Amino acid sequence: MQRNKVVKLLTILLSTSTVGIINYSDVKAEEIKVVASNTNVEAVINNLKNIGDSVTTETSSTMEDVNNSVVAEVSAQKKLTIDEYKLKSATELAEMVRTKQITSEELVNIAYEIIESENPNYNAVITTRKELALEEAKNIQDVGQPFIGVPFLVKGIGHTVSGGENTNGLMVNAGKPLSKTDGSYTKKYKELGFIVLGQTNYPELALRNITTSELYGMTTNGWDINYHSGGSSGGSATAISSGMVPVSSGSDAGGSIRIPASWNGLIGLKTSRGMTDNAKKETQTPAVHFPITKSVQDTITLFDYLKKAEYDSPEIKDLKSLKIGYTTKSPMGTEVSEDAINAVMESVQFLREQGFVVEEVENPIDGREVMKDYTILSIGNGGLVGTRFENNLIEKNLTKENVDPLVWALYVTNKEYDKKKLKEDVTKSWANIEKYKNIMEMFHKEYPILLTPTTATTAPLKTETLIDNKDKED
């Protein structure tokens, strides 16, 4: 019997009254010969068949201690260990499914095994749908999906999945009925072949650059649980960096893909507005939806399949013809850590060694002006919690102390803002954003690529409050 890996032979002697139990938990590929007396053969073979092994029998007369014995030869292959799974990209796992090296059900079971054992350390996953996922994995058919049968998690806000929660991370929404259908983004990911295992953690209304809430708790970093994961797609990032899944969905308005990707050593692409979303390019929403990955190839494939047909990517024949600009300064004028500066300069040195033209530039846009407009837009969305928000809190015996200070501040500001004035200010902010876009388009004609720190610092310790007592009081 041929094997791609080293084959070991084990001989298990079974008495007439005992059926052996075989544990394959640490076996990659084995050929096991089970020697049993005639009275035990049928029980042994059935037991092995029940655990899914290929069983053949042959008569053996060479064993001195067992007369008239039967050798049950078992081909027991554990096709992928947990450690091997954690290292695979989504592209590699899909190829294994497509070539029948492993089934989607087996991959899903491995992923759930990791989630069940490791998620208590990270709190990256807030809901699971194991029965539904296994059923979908069992029934999936290969029709050319790029990620057929690959385990996948969706961000718990904005990417609705059947059987999942839809609370926006707010305590006041705890206990709402589970979603009965998939949202448009989740449907698209399933069309690509992904098997959705559940939902990942996020902060209230996805507004913070860390992932924590009273309802779901804090998500820690996939590399070190003593640090923050980032936000608002922090649950997705940690799920990938800890090895639960190779890809997970994210969304980004002000850094919600890029920040957790940076702090978890992943690839976080915020595509240009409207290029890959359901929204049109000119739609007034700053948010973009795109998965976080750990593989450049996965990101390329996702972009190719998710980008809209009307937005063709320009063909670049010579990458080195693209001039690269870089800066280590914050567009806000705030301090940038040595770690962040060194990361940029190491990249600059590497690119220059490869033959690229890399030049230091000034930030084309005043970051503080951008933040003023971003804040106005956020205030405009402050009413998303609903006009009865305070009444709903009272009805559930909750107070503003049960609400993230940022969410509460935006709600109160929105409530007190003159609505006519707010509408005018939001309109002005979108006009300003159009100006910023035009400035950047002009800049990118000379420097198609701008290299900057993703964040000013590395991930903060989870013990850092990041909000002082005065902020809470206000």
Sheet of 29-36: strand order equals 8-14, 29-36, 69-77, 54-60
298 contacts 247 by C-beta, under 8 angstroms: yes
Q: Is 155 assigned a catalytic role? A: yes
The catalytically annotated residue of 89, 229, 232, 236 is: 232
The β-bridge partners of 200 are: 125, 155
| Burial status of residue 248 (CB atoms within 10 A of its CB: 0-12, 13-18, 19 or more) | buried
The catalytically annotated residue of 256, 295, 378, 429 is: 256
Between β-strands 251-252 and 29-36, what pairing exists: parallel, antiparallel or unpaired? unpaired
The catalytically annotated residue of 88, 155, 294, 462 is: 155
Q: b/e for 116-154, b at 16 or more Cβ within 10 A?
A: eebbeebbbbbbbbbebbbebbeebeeeebbbbbbbbbb
Q: Catalogue the active-site residues.
A: 155, 232, 256
